[in-house]
Every structure is written in structure tokens, then in C-alpha cells.
């Protein structure tokens, strides 16, 4: 199984266009939060309409997992905690989203919401405990914020990770955690796009403007992870212990060079994205 991992597209329509073009080459697209941008001049409600259209097109091309990020929160629950209501509605497209579990082969994916208060945090705790009892050979979490005190959450002066997530990892020992949120981590000293906490691999692609977005590819059958950013391509062997730095990609597989080629043409956007 080959997974394309992105996060923090923040309503960048050229990056969504690229994602639509790339999706058919993968068994699964994992979108680790922040599809929207609360700082955009585009009205938040309009952003949701456009991104929903992209998600419907994306789900028609491959399987999709989507978790909420802090930029995706659009209302408050009855208990007063911020939630991403619109992301839950993506289930109508067949997308696995906040609170869901998805099993593909022997791999169990658990999709966690962004938590803004104790009640949603408690629901994640229950969700992980219940998922741990489900049959699986490999367990992968999608959680927008990376864990605390990891290079994947290093911002240059301090860590911006989730302390509770680090505790959940120590308790449940998933195979992988896929995150985003801290944009600069892969690009600065002492930061990284990958980490290993015990037996758990942790990933954060980071953010770059332009097309294509920075992205990670997980080739689970071959035990490889690739990180692709502007002017750089790195890979690690998931079957080996943590090693830094990641090796440069010297002999890219055919599917990876094909991704580079689709970065040039611009496919037509959904009609609702125009103007």
C-alpha cells in the first residue's frame, strides 16, 4: 500500500489541484488537517464550499482520510468546545474523518479530531483505547498536532507539540503517527520531518508555498518513507532504527518521477473555485 501524505494546504488551490492530479497514483491520500485558512481574505463559508468540492473529487479518485486541524474549526459544540462540523460531513463522500477507524488490509487507521477542550480530548482517549482492541497488524494515527518534545514539533525557539499525544503514544505504541501543524519543523536546525518515539514513527511534512505542496509518501509494502520538498528529496528505511540525516533520493522510482511531471500542467478547477 502506497500512501500520499499532505497537511496544512491552507486553502491553496494550486496545491489542491496538484493533489487531485496525484491522487490516482496512490492507494490512499492522508490529509492531516488544516485544509482551510482562518487568515485568508476568502470568507470561511466560501472556503468550506470549495474545499468540499475538492474532497468529493478526491474521494472519487482514491481512498481518503481527513482529520481536522486548528484552522478547520467552524463552530462550537453544545458544550462550548470548538469543532470542525464541516469535516464530519465529508463522510458523505466516503472519506474517513474525525473519530473514525478505517481498516485496509492489516492496517488500522485511527483519525483523531483537533481537540480544543477536555471533552473532545476525553473522546480521543476513549477512541484510542477502543481502537487498540481492534484487530490490526499495523496501527497508524492521523492527528494534526505532532507530539511534544519531538523534532517534528520544533519551531526554532520552542516545541509546539501536543503533550497528551506524547502520552497516548507511550501508552498505546502505534506504528506511526501522521501530523502537520508546525510548518517550519522540517526546514530548520534541530527540526525534522520524521522522528521515532520508541517503536512509533512520527511524520510532519511541513509547509511550503507554491505547487506542488511539500509531501510525504509512505510505501508500506516496501517499508520506505519519502519526503519531497522544493529542491530536496529524502528517504528513510522504516525497517531500520532511527538514523539522521535522511538519505537523499538518488534513484527515484518511476512513480515518484511521474509525480514531478504532473507538477507543471494545471488541471481545471472545480467550477465553484473560480472567482
pLDDT tens for each residue of 190-248: 999 999 999 999 999 999 998 899 999 999 999 999 999 988 999 999 999 999 999 99
Three cell numbers, residue 129: 483505547
Exposed e or buried b for every residue in 236-255, given b needs 16+ CB within 10 A?
bebeeeeeeebeebeeeeee
pTM: 0.94
Q: How many CA atoms lie within 13 A of 27 on its CB side?
A: 12
**Distance separating alpha carbons of residues 79 and 161, to the nearest angstrom:** 25
**Distance separating alpha carbons of residues 16 and 273, to the nearest angstrom:** 11
The helix/strand count (H/E) of the chain reads as 6, 15
pLDDT at 120: 95
pLDDT at 265: 40
| Burial class of residue 32 in the structure, from the number of CB atoms within 10 Å of its CB (0-12 exposed, 13-18 middle, 19+ buried) | buried
DSSP character at residue 251: S
Q: How confident is the model at residue 252 (pLDDT cuts 50, 70, 90)?
A: confident
List, in sequence order, every residue forming a beta bridge with 236; answer none if it has no partner: 225
Q: Give the residue from 213, 215, 218 showing the smallest Cα distance to 204.
A: 215
- Give the domain range for residue 211: 2-273
Q: How confident is the model at residue 146 (pLDDT cuts 50, 70, 90)?
A: very high
pLDDT tens for each residue of 103-144: 999 999 999 999 989 999 999 999 999 999 999 999 999 999
Domain count across the chain: 1
Enumerate residues 6+ apart whose C-beta is below 8 A from 90. 52, 55, 59, 66, 97
CATH at residue 255: 3.60.21.10
The sign of the CA dihedral 218, 221, 224, 226 is negative
CB of 57 closer than 8 Å to CB of 270: yes
| Burial class of residue 45 in the structure, from the number of CB atoms within 10 Å of its CB (0-12 exposed, 13-18 middle, 19+ buried) | exposed
Residue 263, pLDDT above cutoff 60: no
CB of 71 closer than 8 Å to CB of 78: no
**Distance separating alpha carbons of residues 6 and 28, to the nearest angstrom:** 11
| Length of the chain (residues) | 275
Amino acid at each position: 500500500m502506497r500512501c500520499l501524505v499532505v497537511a496544512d494546504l491552507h486553502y491553496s488551490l494550486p496545491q489542491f489541484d496538484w493533489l487531485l492530479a496525484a491522487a490516482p497514483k496512490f492507494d490512499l491520500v492522508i490529509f492531516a488537517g488544516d485544509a482551510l485558512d482562518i487568515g485568508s481574505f476568502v470568507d470561511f463559508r466560501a472556503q468550506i464550499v470549495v474545499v468540499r468540492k475538492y474532497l468529493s473529487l478526491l474521494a472519487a479518485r482514491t481512498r481518503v482520510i481527513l482529520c481536522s486541524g486548528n484552522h478547520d474549526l467552524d463552530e462550537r459544540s453544545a458544550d462550548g468546545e470548538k469543532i470542525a462540523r464541516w469535516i464530519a460531513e465529508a463522510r458523505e463522500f466516503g472519506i474517513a474523518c474525525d473519530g473514525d477507524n478505517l481498516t485496509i488490509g492489516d492496517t488500522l487507521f485511527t483519525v483523531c479530531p483537533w481537540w480544543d477542550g477536555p471533552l473532545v480530548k476525553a473522546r480521543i482517549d476513549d477512541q484510542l483505547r477502543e481502537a487498540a482492541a481492534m484487530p490490526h497488524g499495523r496501527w497508524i494515527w492521523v492527528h494534526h498536532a505532532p507530539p511534544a518534545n519531538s523534532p517534528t514539533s520544533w519551531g526554532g525557539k520552542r516545541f509546539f507539540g501536543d503533550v497528551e499525544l506524547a502520552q497516548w503514544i507511550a501508552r498505546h505504541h502505534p506504528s506511526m503517527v501522521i501530523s502537520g501543524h508546525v510548518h517550519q519543523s522540517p526546514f530548520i536546525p534541530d527540526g525534522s520531518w520524521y522522528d521515532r518515539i520508541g517503536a512509533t514513527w512520527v511524520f510532519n511534512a511541513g509547509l511550503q508555498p507554491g505547487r506542488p505542496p511539500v509531501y510525504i509518501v509512505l510505501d508500506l509494502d516496501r517499508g520506505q518513507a519519502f519526503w519531497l520538498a522544493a529542491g530536496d528529496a529524502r528517504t528513510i528505511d522504516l525497517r531500520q532504527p532511527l538514523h539522521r540525516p535522511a538519505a537523499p533520493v538518488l534513484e527515484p522510482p518511476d512513480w515518484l518521477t511521474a509525480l514531478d511531471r504532473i507538477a507543471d500542467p494545471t488541471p481545471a478547477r472545480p467550477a465553484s473555485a473560480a472567482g
